[in-house]
Amino acid sequence: MLIGQIRNQVDAVWNAFWTGGVANPVSVIEQISYLLFIRRLDEIHTNVERKANVSGKPLENPIFTTAQNELRWSVFKNKDPQTMFELVRDKVFPFIKTINGEESAFAKHMRDAIFMVPKPGLLAQVIDMLDQIPMQDRDTKGDLYEYLLSKLQQSGVNGQFRTPRHIIKMMVEMIKPVLNADDPHKSDFICDPASGTCGFLMAAEEYVREHYKNALLKNTGSTHFHKKMFTGFDFDTSMLRIGAMNMMLHGIEHPRVEYRDSLSDAGENNISEAYTVVLANPPFKGSVAFDELSPDLLHALGKTVKKVGGKGKAPSEKTELLFLALILRLLKTGGRAAVIVPDGVLFGSTQSHQAIRKKLVEEQHLQAVISMPSGVFKPYAGVSTAVLLFTKTNSGGTDNVWFYDMQADGFSLDDKRTSLTLEGEPVQHQNNNIPDILVRWNNLIAEKDRTRTDQSFMVPKADIVKEDYDLSINRYKQVVYENVQYDPPKEIIARIKKLQKEMEQGLMELEAML
């Protein structure tokens, strides 16, 4: 978590851009990302130089050649504003756009990137501010970037809202990504088909880096980690650039963040059986016309595949349902997923709603439904949501589904979303159910003894089938009503009269004093 001083420094940089004429929050984040990335490249090159000096060997994979020395942050930051401005605009910025080669995925995202700092004075001011922010620690870099992205959430531009980081972390810890240095085929291939700023991929990266330090030291493990393990798709080019920057600033050398309309019928989009883990919070709103969709997604929703021609309006399907069908297609057999869905997916009565729920229960292994409070995505959306956890088997396997009624996530459920725990203090479960969720998820055997009046419980598949595959927790949770005894009305009236007399006596005494 960023300390107050660093937050203030970031806020100052943000305000400098704002007052300097760059007002679009997405543009501000992009420009700051470019500059942070330029600074990071110089830090990496400096480490390579130090390693070479200690070992006495030539530089290994240097970022800058001797002729490119002027492009380094540590060199140009000390130049006068006009010289610095021209150098960054005309040489440094074009250089970072092709850092991994002109045909790399990163270069493709950066192709349309624009250097938008309008004047030398603003660039000099911002570079001086960013240079004073301590970023030696990798976690600090990640937290700083997350704070920047929270600015985007606060601004609410173009509907781009991030999933709360603590919810993402909970989902990743429940999935438990795996990195096997001895056999990369036993490692996970992780995908987010609606990646946005790559928050899910970054949380997965942090989990792997924390739990598989030894595997990362081995060449095969490191190669898989940096080049193959994490993949993100999105059709928003600004989000792709920010996501790629996010991954590279977190330490992923070759981010696989690709432009792709995941739901379309384009041949290049029909990826199947490619990933062992999917983590996602797909778009909740909107629908897609049938004639734009991949036929297999429609088939998964129990729809007859027909292309609508002429001028008539094509039927459409909800994006949240289509993404569930897509995730099942993306996963390899045995692959697992943690997906956020709006509550309507759990109990909707349309043919498509029922078809996708039946597919999860009957053909796959549905493991858990975690109902989240409606305030989780405030102030921008008050919709109630849930997390679905399932494994793709194509042969069934659902026996008992674990339901958890999350009532608190550590933050107030109003528009302010204020933290309910003090920094440095232990988390209290009454304010945050997430620690309890993780403990119980890791010991599901004990959950079989809990009753449906508890906050979490198991529901047999047979009961779900009887309810037409309804997955809403309220369908199965039993509410215990407290039997309250009230005094007879005459006694209540007598007490009210007594209170009235006491009030009258008090008024009389007060009046006498006057």
For 70, the domain range is 4-146
Reply yes or no: is the peptide bond before residue 379 cis, omega within 30 of 0. yes
Residue 373 has pLDDT above 70, yes or no: yes
- pLDDT digit string, tens, across residues 471-506: 999 999 987 777 778 888 988 899 999 999 999 998
Mean pLDDT in residue range 372-400:
89
Q: Are residues 295 and 432 in the same domain?
A: yes
Q: Which residue, of 124, 146, 168, is where some domain finishes? A: 146
CA–CA dist 322, 341 (Å, integer): 11
Closest CA to 282 of 364, 161, 108: 161
Which CATH number belongs to the domain containing residue 326 in this structure?
Answer: 3.40.50.150
Residue 47 has pLDDT above 90, yes or no: no
Specify the pLDDT at position 158.
41
CA–CA dist 301, 324 (Å, integer): 9
What is the rounded average pLDDT for all residues in the chain? 85
Structural domain includes residue 449: yes
Closest CA to 129 of 248, 6, 2, 30: 6
What's the helix, strand, coil split of the chain in %, to 5? 50, 15, 35
Indicate the pLDDT class of residue 155, thresholds 50, 70 and 90: very low
- pLDDT digit string, tens, across residues 82-93: 999 999 999 999
Q: Which residue, of 146, 181, 203, is where some domain finishes? A: 146
How many domains is the chain built from? 2
Between 134 and 108, name the one with better pLDDT: 134
CA–CA dist 496, 475 (Å, integer): 43
Indicate the pLDDT class of residue 193, thresholds 50, 70 and 90: very high
Structural domain includes residue 512: no
Which CATH number belongs to the domain containing residue 105 in this structure?
Answer: 1.20.1260
CA–CA dist 502, 298 (Å, integer): 74
| 391 three-state secondary structure | strand
Q: Are residues 272 and 142 in the same domain?
A: no
Structural domain includes residue 235: no
Unique residue bearing structure tokens 């999933």:
163
Closest CA to 387 of 233, 159, 170: 170
Structural domain includes residue 434: yes
Between 339 and 309, name the one with better pLDDT: 339
Indicate the pLDDT class of residue 17, thresholds 50, 70 and 90: very high
Residues 6 or more apart whose CB falls under 8 angstroms from that of 270 comprise 294, 296
| 287 three-state secondary structure | strand
Q: Are residues 442 and 315 in the same domain?
A: yes
Between 152 and 486, name the one with better pLDDT: 486
Structural domain includes residue 194: no
Residues 6 or more apart whose CB falls under 8 angstroms from that of 501 comprise none
Specify the pLDDT at position 324.
94
CA–CA dist 245, 247 (Å, integer): 5
- pLDDT digit string, tens, across residues 403-437: 999 999 988 888 777 878 765 555 555 689 999 99
Structural domain includes residue 240: no
Write the single-letter amino acid at 232.
Answer: G
Query: Rounded to the nearest 10 degrees, how much is the dihedral formed by the CA atoms of 335, 385, 459, 399?
Result: -10
Q: In sequence order, what E strands does 122-274 have?
A: 190-192, 230-234, 256-259
Whether the CB-CB separation of 420 and 373 falls below 8 Å is answered with no
Residue 108 has pLDDT above 80, yes or no: no
Q: Which residue, of 146, 167, 190, is where some domain finishes? A: 146
Indicate the pLDDT class of residue 444, thresholds 50, 70 and 90: very high
Whether the CB-CB separation of 186 and 272 falls below 8 Å is answered with no
Residue 159 has pLDDT above 60, yes or no: no
Structural domain includes residue 216: no
Mean pLDDT in residue range 227-255:
82
Specify the pLDDT at position 1.
46
Residue 316 has pLDDT above 80, yes or no: no
Cα separations (Å) of 61 from 47, 74, 91, 224? 11, 19, 21, 18
- pLDDT digit string, tens, across residues 50-93: 888 888 888 877 888 889 999 999 999 999 999 999 999 999 99
Indicate the pLDDT class of residue 231, thresholds 50, 70 and 90: very high
Q: What is the DSSP string of 211-244?
A: H-HHHHHSHHHHHHHHHTSEEEEES-HHHHHHHH
Write the single-letter amino acid at 124.
Answer: A
CA–CA dist 229, 474 (Å, integer): 38
Whether the CB-CB separation of 88 and 126 falls below 8 Å is answered with no
Q: In sequence order, what E strands does 129-274 have?
A: 190-192, 230-234, 256-259
Of 26-35, 100-109, 396-405, 415-424, give the range with the top mean pLDDT: 396-405
Whether the CB-CB separation of 334 and 392 falls below 8 Å is answered with yes
Structural domain includes residue 355: yes
CA–CA dist 462, 368 (Å, integer): 15
Indicate the pLDDT class of residue 181, thresholds 50, 70 and 90: confident
Residue 196 has pLDDT above 60, yes or no: yes
Residue 312 has pLDDT above 50, yes or no: no
Q: What is the DSSP string of 343-378?
A: THHHH--SHHHHHHHHIIIIISEEEEEEEE-GGGGT
Residue 161 has pLDDT above 80, yes or no: no
